[in-house]
């Protein structure tokens, strides 16, 4: 499902003042944890490839906060292919604390000015701050209007990160140094949606914040005086941390006065709403999110596909049948399905990892798919292929892949199996699918539960021999979390926040009126 854009990723690292440095920072020393940050951002690269950046804190530098950010991947942004240039960057931005960000844009432009972190300068150190953000505020337009209706407010960028920065600035007003827990408590009463934040000020205070619904994942770890946090656990475990913990919804890590504290800034909500797509598609397969393994969740989806295949009885697996994953996120599910069916799982589609993401290159998606994927005729020719896809959003990439497998791969039959229920509703919490009209499944479905006939119609439209989705109840089983702890809005139409519900109503009205252009959350909240 390579037509769906990835999420952003955030990270933070802090080495407290200590006579004994953490063993994880011994090589470069406590004043060089910026180097650890770059390693963390590389491990979060799957979440965003448009830009990367960091802000470091160094009390021995005139600019106690210094921000570096560039367009491109982490390797490109930090010039890692040019050792001398990257060394200059790391030396100039060295420090004992840093926050970092990799970006994919769900709103705003794709230029350096929109890259994060955002830094706000001020003569008083506790008002001089930097921040980075992962998620999306569903009530962005309402907050934006509220700001612009106030005297002397102006937005340079049309994105929710700048709105968050201005609300932070407002909470830090006055002559008295505020309680940061109270600051984020006040903001939680205004913000609706997904917002994981990393924050740092000129005093060296740091806050790592997870929204009260826990829509996006956030992990942290401590090794003696060394603290680190990231959107995914793999960024921490690869540094050598052995005890990676989940930051609970509505909690924040506060580092202040050389101490690390876990604080609750928002009252517990009746439910959590962890985005199920994190396990199915977004997250690195090596990560563990909210104590649930991404790999094991995807493998469980594959087992569910095999169980359903036996129940359907449409395909009689034999020596001529192979299971082929759509690289790379479909592989764990495909392998597990093949094992349960007793047939080979083969990499019949090879992805060129030196080609950029399909949504970045060119305008013709079919040509982009041909550049990025190569079918292996040696393993596909004359075979019955069960193609395992993690999900279908717009279907354009999948249709091109099916053509490749038949025409260049020589497959005799191609049967699509989707390790996810149909996507029937937009997302307003950070996934770039905000209109009903762009989605594939609603074109065929009369209700919220897909029928056999509707799946057959989809298969014909895609020129596949058959197509079947996983049922709705399989998601909670495979992730091993109760359904009421997951956000499944895009597959149920049921949103966990009030602004999300309003945006869905707006999206439906826009769809019924024939509107197809523009992201819903950029058109106002109606």
Report, as residue numbers or ranges, the catalytic residues. Answer: 8
Which structure tokens are listed for 324? 């082929």
Closest alpha carbon to 29 in 79, 90, 89, 81:
90
Do the beta carbons of residue 17 and residue 234 sit within 8 Å? no
Q: Residue 226, Cβ neighbours under 10 Å: how many?
A: 24
Helix axis angle, 396-407 relative to 365-372, nearest 10°? 60
From CA 262, how far away is CA 265, in angstroms rounded?
10
Mind giving me the DSSP string for 310-379? HHH------TTEEEEE-TTTTHHHHHHHHHHHTS-B---EEE-TTS--TTTS-S-HHHHHHHHEEE-HHH
From CA 392, how far away is CA 412, in angstroms rounded?
23
Torsion of CA 38, 44, 45, 51, to 10 degrees: -70
Q: What are phi and psi of 131, to 5 degrees?
A: -150, 155
From CA 26, how far away is CA 92, in angstroms rounded?
20
Contacts with 273 (C-beta within 8 Å, 6 or more apart), sequence order: 213, 214, 215, 485, 486, 487, 496, 497
Which structure tokens are listed for 185? 């408590």
From CA 12, how far away is CA 231, in angstroms rounded?
10
3 state SS of 445? coil
Do the beta carbons of residue 486 and residue 279 sit within 8 Å? no
Do the beta carbons of residue 461 and residue 441 sit within 8 Å? no
- H/E element holding 35? helix 34-43
């Amino acid at each position: 499902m390579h037509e769906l854009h990835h999420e952003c990723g955030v990270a933070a690292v802090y080495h407290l003042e200590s006579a004994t440095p953490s063993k994880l920072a011994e090589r470069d020393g406590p004043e060089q944890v910026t180097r650890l940050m770059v390693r963390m951002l590389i491990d979060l690269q799957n979440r965003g490839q448009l830009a990367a950046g960091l802000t470091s804190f160094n009390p021995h530098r005139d600019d106690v906060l210094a921000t570096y950010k560039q367009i491109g991947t982490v390797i490109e942004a930090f010039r890692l292919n040019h050792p001398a240039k990257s060394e200059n960057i790391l030396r100039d931005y060295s420090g004992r604390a840093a926050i970092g960000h990799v970006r994919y844009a769900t709103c705003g432009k794709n230029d350096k000015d929109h890259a994060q972190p955002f830094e706000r300068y001020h003569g008083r150190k506790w008002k001089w701050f930097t921040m980075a953000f992962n998620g999306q505020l569903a009530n962005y337009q309402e907050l934006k209007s509220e700001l612009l209706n106030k005297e002397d407010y102006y937005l340079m960028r049309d994105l929710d990160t700048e709105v968050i920065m201005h609300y932070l600035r407002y909470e830090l007003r006055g002559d008295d140094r505020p309680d940061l827990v109270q600051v984020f408590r006040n903001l939680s009463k205004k913000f609706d949606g997904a917002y994981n934040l990393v924050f740092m000020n000129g005093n060296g205070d740091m806050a790592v914040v997870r929204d009260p619904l826990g829509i996006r994942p956030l992990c942290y770890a401590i090794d003696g005086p060394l603290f680190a946090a990231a959107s995914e656990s793999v960024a921490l475990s690869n540094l050598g941390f052995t005890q990676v913990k989940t930051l609970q919804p509505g909690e924040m890590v506060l580092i202040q006065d050389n101490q690390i504290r876990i604080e609750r800034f928002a009252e517990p909500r009746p439910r959590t709403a962890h985005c199920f797509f994190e396990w199915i598609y977004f997250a690195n397969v090596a990560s563990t999110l909210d104590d649930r393994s991404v790999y094991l969740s995807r493998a469980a989806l594959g087992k569910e596909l095999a169980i359903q295949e036996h129940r359907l009885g449409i395909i009689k697996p034999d020596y001529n049948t192979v299971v082929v994953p759509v690289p790379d996120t479909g592989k764990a599910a495909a392998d597990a399905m093949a094992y349960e069916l007793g047939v080979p799982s083969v990499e019949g589609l090879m992805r060129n990892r030196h080609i950029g993401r399909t949504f970045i290159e060119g305008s013709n998606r079919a040509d982009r798919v041909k550049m990025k994927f190569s079918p292996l005729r040696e393993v596909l020719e004359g075979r019955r292929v069960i193609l395992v896809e993690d999900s279908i959003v717009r279907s354009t990439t999948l249709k091109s892949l099916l053509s490749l497998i038949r025409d260049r791969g020589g497959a005799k039959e191609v049967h699509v199996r989707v390790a996810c229920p149909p996507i029937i509703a937009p997302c307003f919490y950070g996934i770039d699918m905000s209109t009903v009209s762009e989605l594939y499944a609603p074109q065929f479905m009369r209700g919220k539960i897909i029928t056999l006939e509707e799946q057959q119609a989809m298969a014909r439209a895609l020129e596949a021999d058959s197509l079947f989705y996983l049922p709705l109840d399989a998601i909670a089983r495979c992730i091993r979390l109760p359904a009421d702890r997951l956000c499944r809005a895009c597959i149920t139409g049921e949103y966990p926040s009030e602004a999300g519900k309003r945006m869905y109503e707006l999206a439906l009205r826009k769809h019924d009126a024939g509107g197809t252009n523009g992201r819903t959350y950029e058109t106002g909240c109606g």
